Structure formats: structure tokens, C-alpha cells
Structure 1
């Protein structure tokens, strides 16, 4: 079970849908995107009858399994934004800041306590050869007005001690860490307080375009609505085009037992930043409120996007991740892990959220965060609602709203290419050769790495 979900603060489940209902807006998915869409829809149009259905429990999908690092960017970071949308950077940066303004204001308005710490995020170089890229990223972030500091090895070790770190880039530009399940549960309570009807344990079984409305069928009922927003990430909803654009990859995560004061002193981490390293098969790590370390990585793919792969339950999966943990923090030898889990990431070729119309314009699917959706999901929901209700809003004039990610090849080519790619990930840094060449080729095709 994810550490985040192993918590008595989880609110009781809302009743499953039974019978036939009508709504002005149907939202499919009880993760961050769906919850933010429900809240913003009711704030903007209080008269709407909004119904949200969730296949399981709110936050039990990708949202409650995330690392919980908050980034300013609505993209997969600023370098990716420059790569994909070079003509829209100023506006995307502005939307990133506006999004966090709204994010913070909503948490204050609805009294959501999600253990947020605004201490920044840090990218650490695990090889001196990676320092050049950090210098380039420092110049890029500085050019766009970010509060960033380039750290040498000693300065990095003063922030977080590891024998692997050769330097770091510390972004203090309104980023930090959050308890993702507490955030989702707080958003659920906020949505309910606004009058949103939420039905958990209500999977979508079929969706049908009926002209002026859409009919959504569930195991014990149905909902008819003139508009539907899909915030269901990698879950299949019966629209083939979506599955061609989104790849479900699996991320794996460990949570340690709480560190003692003596153990914490061994690694420092006095500013408690969220951290990414520069490995091709990257790891990320952050502290929790009670000083556990959340350590994630080891991305994989399973045929046809299997949402419950056997690998998630295999001991050797987490043994490999634990080995990476102790290579990073050998001074914590003997520290035990309390939780281990896997979770889905909705990966797309451009590495950023997209919102695309379906069902004759009555449906919009919002997905593709590629691991950066904790805060960007609010923007994704905002953009999706504006497209769904055909509002003339500034972000709709940008390519992020007007373009969709490219198709990803179907199975079995998808599975084979993913297997080769993730095998290359594991050895590209240490071995080079064909593995590094393969990764360069994937990057050249436009996929974020």
C-alpha cells in the first residue's frame, strides 16, 4: 500500500451510483484533474449540476501514488517547455505562476491541510559529466526570471549529503512538496461543499454519443449529460484515439521508516527540498512531515498498459530500488522501509498535459502530465473546461491547447520499443554504447527523457 494512503485521515467513501441520473457536467475520474475540474466548474458556474464518478476510491489511482513534488511549470519542466513550445514560453511561464496562485488560494479558501512545504526543488548531478547540462539549465531558468542557485559539490553536500552528488541546481521558485493523498482528500471535501455529487466505486463501463447528450453507463446506473470531462489519466474509457496518444508507464516508490534526529543529521537536508537526480533512469526523493524519505524511480512498461502488473508485487523490484537508495545514502545503512508501491504515469510524446475534444465536441479528455501533474493538474482542468465550454481564454490561443501529442505505435511494437528503451535506461549512463545511442534517438524523435 502507498504510504500516502495508509492514513486514518481518509474520508469515508461516497456511495456508488445506483439508478439513472442527469447532469449538466459529468466528470470521469476522482484524481487531481477530475477534482480540480469539479471545483473550478462550480466556482465559475455555481448553477451547474456536476457529477463526478470514480472507479475506485478518490486518490487511489495515480494521484495518491505520486512523489508529491510541486513544480512551478505546467509542462515537464522549463527545458521541455522550450523544446516543445519555444514560441509560447513567456505565456506558459505566466500560466505556471497563475496556476500556483490559484492552487494556494484554493487550499486557503477551503482549509486544506496537505503538509505543504515551499522549500524548492533541486536537481542533483550524479556524474561530473552532467554538470554542463545543469549550467545550461541554470542559464535558461535565470533568463526566465527564476530564483535558482547553481551549487558546486561542497555546496550541494551542505544541502544534502551523498557521495554521488557532483553539484546541483536548486530552484527556489515557488516549488516544494505536498502530501498528495491529503491534497486529494481536501479537494474532495471542497468539491462536496460546493454541491458536486461524487460517486466512488462507480467505474465507467461504456460511453455513447447520443446527439445532444452523452450517455455514460456504469454497473448499476447511468448518467446523461451534455458535456463530459475525462480526468481519468491512463484508464481506458473506450475512445481508441486516446490510447494511441497516452502510454501508461509504471513508477515504483519506497518509503522509509521515520529518520531519527541522528540519522537526519547524517544527510543534512536542512532545507527539505524535493530532489531529482540526473540519471537517465532517474530517481527522485523527498522528506515527509514525520521525516521519512520517499524514494522513487525504476520506471517500467507492461503490455497493453496493464494497470496491475505482477512486477508491482515482486520483491526484486523494490530490492533494486533499495539498492539505489543505499548507493545514494550509504550513511543510512540499516534503515528500514515501511511501504513499497507502484503507480501509473500518463506519458505522452510532448511531456505535457493536453486537452482534446471527442464525442462530437461534447467530451474533452485531459491527460499526459508525464509525471509532473501534482500542480499542473489544476491548469489541465482549467484548460479542459475552457475548451469544453468553448470559452475564449488566453491559453487556448497557445499551441499547448491547439495541438495534441503524436501517436505512439500500437502493440506489440509499443511494448517492444518500451522494453528496449527501459533496458537502455538502466545502462546508458554506466555503459554508454548502443544504449546511450538508443536514448539519443528517442530524444531526437521528440520524447521527453
Structure 2
């Protein structure tokens, strides 16, 4: 059995439900979704909310949340910092709309959790984009000015003393704060989505990998023990797309994000002033990011350490982080008070970095149904 990252292990320990049975044989569905992470589960839920009669079936190769959704940094952020890319790709009007929608979606996560009683440690406490060395200073100015010009800027520059106090660290040399961001326990969120999907009547089969895709109307999703015939198919596999479909090898780079989490030390969090659920990111290409947890831990991560070529899923992605020493060094640099605090766990995982840094959506079948 693969090692479960800290977030997912914590979420699984808090629930009592058994895994959903693997698909036992051939079946038929209106919609078949491949992938039981945020993308797949939220798609299933929204389809059922709009049309409860729709027969939606979801297959997942492992258990729901075993991919990126159950092990990410838990920083719920908008697309405002990507404004220039959005404008280049889609023009001003659509870029403005997407920034607004992306900020609205942060609030929508909280509304969803409240509506369905999902306890995902959702805290709408904002984000700080900071500089941690002289070279990073000023790197946010241009995008803030563009957001300001278009009337969509939610960021304010804070005095350095405020930034250091809110972020709990003297390492920050400047910072911009936006209230339109949240932190979550990502494993609890994805397992909550699974529960809601089941409640709404989505048929879920875990430990059911897609082994092939037959084009046609209906399309056929092959699995080890049967084929799903479906009028429409949604492929929601993210980093795993490049392995399943060679045409994605050049569209996404598989790159790790490595994380650690400390034992609970709420006393030290009080001492350094990191007492809200604010998410903090520096201005590197592959950023450091961190936030605390309601039970008094610090989660700190860094992107971009391991690259996997040709869509390969490396064994290291399901093991403790090989960069634990680097993470621990960063932890003690940001928080000298935590230098001797026990690290409860480290982990990493594959994330799909697209050429633009944005997700992309598209049609994959000549029949227009995938």
C-alpha cells in the first residue's frame, strides 16, 4: 500500500466509511468521469446539482484524494497574480472576468463547505505575497498596477513591520495582502467532496484504473474488470494525463512540490504571531509557501525540486520528501523559534505544470464527447 501523505492520512483517520468497490463488470452511464480528485468530484457534484436524474459514474485508480488533491499545500488562491498571462492569452475583458471569477471561487469553496457540512478547516484569512530577498523586492509592483488600472485589485501593500507580524517571520522584506484567499486541509476537503458526491447519487468505483479509451458515441472507458459505455467522458487526471496520453507529454511538465508539517506547537505560534490562517508565498519562480493549521502546526512547502520527464510517475512521489533537509533549513530560516521543533511528516507529489502556468480544458474526441 502506498504511503499516504499527512493530510490524507489525517482525513482518513477521521472517517469511518469503507472504500467504494472496484467496478465489477461492464456498465452504462450518461457521464463517466476519470479521476477522483477536486476536478473530477466537483464536476460530478455540479452535474448532479444541475440535473439529479443524470447517471454520473466516477472511476479512480486509487482512492479519492490519493493524487494532488489530498496532498497539496492547502493554499486557496485566486488568479490575480497571473493577470498578464490571462491578458496575453484571452484579452483584457476576459482576463478581468477570470480574475473576478477566480476570487469568487475562493468564497464558493467556503459556501460549499457550509452548505454540505464539510469540515475542511476552511479559513478565509487572506494571503501575503512577499519578498524574502532584495532581488524579489518590487517583483509584484507591475501586476498590482495592472490590476489597479482595471479596477480588480484586492491587494494592499503593508508596512514591513505588519507583514513580518502577520507572517510570523522577520525574513520578509515587503508584502502585499489580499483578503481574497483561504487556507484548507486539502485531504479533508477532497474526502468531504467524495461524501457529498455519494450522497447526491454519483456512482463511485475506487481502485479502478482506466486502461484504455475507445472513441465513439457512446465512448468506452476500459478498466481491468469491465468497460463503461458513456455518452460523455470527463478526463480529470491532471498530472496523470501525460502518462495515459502521449500527446500531453509536451503540454505539461511533471514537477514535485515538497512539504513538511511540524508537530503542534500553538504556544510558539502565539509567540511569533502567526495566529491566523493567512497563506504566505515568496516571489521565487518555484515559491516557498506556508500557513499554520488550527491545531497549531506549521505546514511549509516548496515547488520545483524533482522533475519527471515524459510524463513518468516516479516512485519518489509516494515517499517522504528527499528534500527534507532543505525544507527543515527553510523552516528554521523563516522561524528560528521552530528550529528544534519536531517535524511530524514530510511528503511530496507530482503536479502538472502547464506551459502557461494555467489549467487548460479542451475537447479530445472527433465525436465531441470527451
Normalising to structure 1: TM-score of the pair?
0.75
**Do the aligned residues in 1 keep the contact of 2:139 with 2:283 (CA within 8 Å)?**
no
Q: Give, in whole Å, the separation in 2 of the partners of 1:76 and 1:230.
A: 27
- Distance in 1 (alpha carbons) for counterparts of 2:41 and 2:320: 32
- Where structure 2 has 5 or more consecutive residues not aligned to the other structure, the ranges are none
SS at match of 1:133: coil
Query: Is 1:230 the equivalent of 2:241?
Result: no
Alpha carbons of structure 1 residues 120 and 78: separation in structure 2 relative to 1, 3 Å:
farther
Contact kept in structure 2, 1:76 and 1:351, CA below 8 Å: no
Structure 1 residue 251 corresponds to structure 2 residue 246: no
In the other structure, the counterpart of 1:123 is 129
2:42 — aligned with what? 36
1:112 aligns to 2:115 (yes or no): no
2:152 counterpart (145, 148, 153) = 145
CA distance in 1 between partners of 2:317 and 2:52 (Å):
45
CA contact (8 A) 1:284 1:297 kept: yes
User: Is the counterpart of residue 287 in structure 1 residue 292 in structure 2?
Assistant: yes
Which residue of 2 is the match for residue 426 of structure 1?
none
In structure 1, what is the equivalent of residue 351 of structure 2?
345
Q: Which moved more, 1:118-127 or 1:147-156?
A: 147-156
| Aligned partner of 1:6 among 6, 9, 24 | 9
Would the aligned equivalents of 2:34 and 2:210 in 1 still touch at CA under 8 Å? yes
Can you give the 5+ residue segments of structure 1 that lack an aligned partner in the other structure?
365-449
Q: Which residue of the partner structure matches residue 168 of structure 1?
A: 175
Q: Which 4+ runs in 1 deviate beyond 6 A?
A: none
Cα deviations by residue, 1:307-343 (Å, 9 ceiling, x for unpaired): 2334764775211121122122122220111011111
Aligned length: 360
Q: Structure 2 vs 1, CA of residues 336 and 305 (structure 1 numbering), >3 Å: closer, same or farther?
A: farther
Could you say what secondary structure the match of 2:58 adopts?
strand
Aligned to 1:391: none
For the structure 1 residues 22 and 312, does the alpha-carbon distance in structure 2 shift closer, same or farther, using more than 3 Å as the test? closer
Question: What is the match of residue 199 of structure 1?
Answer: 205
Provide, for residues 95-128 of structure 1, a one-character-per-residue CA deviation record: whole Å limited to 9, x for no partner: 2244345433332322212110000011121113
CA distance, structure 2, for counterparts of residue 298 and residue 25 of structure 1: 34
Q: Distance in 1 between matches of 2:321 and 2:24?
A: 40
Q: Are the structure 2 counterparts of residues 107 and 44 from structure 1 closer, same or farther at C-alpha, using a change threshold of 3 Å?
A: same
Partner of 1:360: 366
Equivalent position to 2:218, from 202, 208, 213: 213
Q: Which has the higher helix share?
A: 1
CA distance in 1, matches of 2:171, 2:87: 29
- Aligned partner of 2:273 among 254, 260, 268: 268
Q: 1:82 to 1:199 in 2, by over 3 A?
A: same
